[in-house]
Structure 1
Amino acid sequence: MEHPSGVAWPRFEPRLTMMKTTQTWLLLLVFVVVLDTIICPPVKVKKSENKTDDEEKTDEDVNFGLEYERYLKEVVGVLESDEIFKKKLQESNVSEIKSGEIARHLEFVSHNIRTRLDEIKRKEIDRLRQVLKIQQQIKRGMPHVAINPTLLTHRTGENDPDFQMVNKNRVLAHVDHKNPNTFEVEDLAKLIKRASQDLEDIDKQRRDEFKRYELEKEAEKQDKLSHMDEEHRKEEVIKLEGDEEEACRSS
């Protein structure tokens, strides 16, 4: 049965791995919090020499399709290189991180780190200006607008494949656009809070999809069993139960 996914989310084994939650993604981005899974943990797959580079991607290579995902990863990557801030992250709890309270520690990072963050923010501001310009062109009904797909990669239900207009405040919600030149505490707080909310929304979508998948899978199994005689049905049930137990033991 084909997995009912309309977007390029990371592949998963439906019965073995529940989709990673918001907290898990933040963990991958250095916001160290608790992994939250259900059913049973991911199966550990031995690395194959025949696998392609794409098949061997790590969790850090996972792309959730956030519009500002590159910006998020770049900011976190820079902050991770600052030992003081990294230590503060490790000492913080989930609520401090998700609320953006952790951002106040930005004041203690080195000048070099702040300079790199300033550069990253200026690039993001330039990208957002292009996005808003494109949106204005679309709003005015200008035909044949050349759209760079890397500029608009929204995945929320508010947006369609044709890049319909998005609320300006939402597009700018992850940055302090009133200060386009320097990366400040307010920028980090906005980025964390926006990412936390968006990733929670994505997690909910994926959990809902997983539930639908499980229901369809169960219906398919029952339909298959209904067309078997009693002897073969019992054998199939035992086999399926054994497969599930083995999957969990292999994790």
Structure 2
Amino acid sequence: MRRNLIDWTDIEASVKRHMESRPGWIPLVIEVLETIKEHADFTGDQPPNIVEIKQKLGGLRIYTDPSPDHVLSVLERAEIKAESTCEICGNAARVQDFYGYLACRCSWCAHDLIDERRGVHSPEPYILNQRLPEVDRDLCCTECGYFGQRVQAWNETRCPVCIMNDWLLKMASNLVSIQSQILQKAEDPAAEAVKYTVVYGHDFTFRHEVFKVTGHMRADDLLERCAHEVRVAIEGDSDD
């Protein structure tokens, strides 16, 4: 009998110790092992020996010594669920092909891995899933190749990360400053007007905008609203 990786009296600590590099899958494994432990306690059986927990071909694998079918069935359900769970953050994900290295990552964590591997394992630009069948190509980001998550808005065919990176690049190259000022309306104390000035572009173009908000709007909501207005302004200028 091979060594058991799991201390059945402290499942959580055992799983965390063996899955440090894939924290997104930790809750899945803890849940499935607790289910197995509860069944064993109820029937009086010994829990199985868990001899290996690993990632293989982008999927979760949990190996045991010879075990009853009900144990294998529960483990299989966890492995299937892991196929749509990011191994890093636990977000919704799909298995992606990083030039032969398969990993189940959401678009955000996929880009983290792209940054780690770019220039070492592939030429520029780094395009994922190059071995996918042509029929699946229309589900890939046209910039990075991420499969299964595209934004269908503003005529975009890219993943959310590529869109956000492009927007941040525009912000960095165009936006100089935002200055805001809250103008109290004496006739209506419950309503305020926020006036802000956006300075952007190499020619230091100024925009003066005013919009009304309720007196209950939080400061971070106000900043988010301002950021949205700035994005719309920049995108509008880029279309001209």
**TM bucket normalised to smaller:** under 0.3
- Normalised by the length of structure 2, the TM-score is 0.27
Larger Rg belongs to: 2
Higher RCO, 1 vs 2 (CA within 8 Å, ≥6 residues apart):
1
Q: By percentage of residues, which structure has more strand?
A: 2
Q: By percentage of residues, which structure has more helix?
A: 1
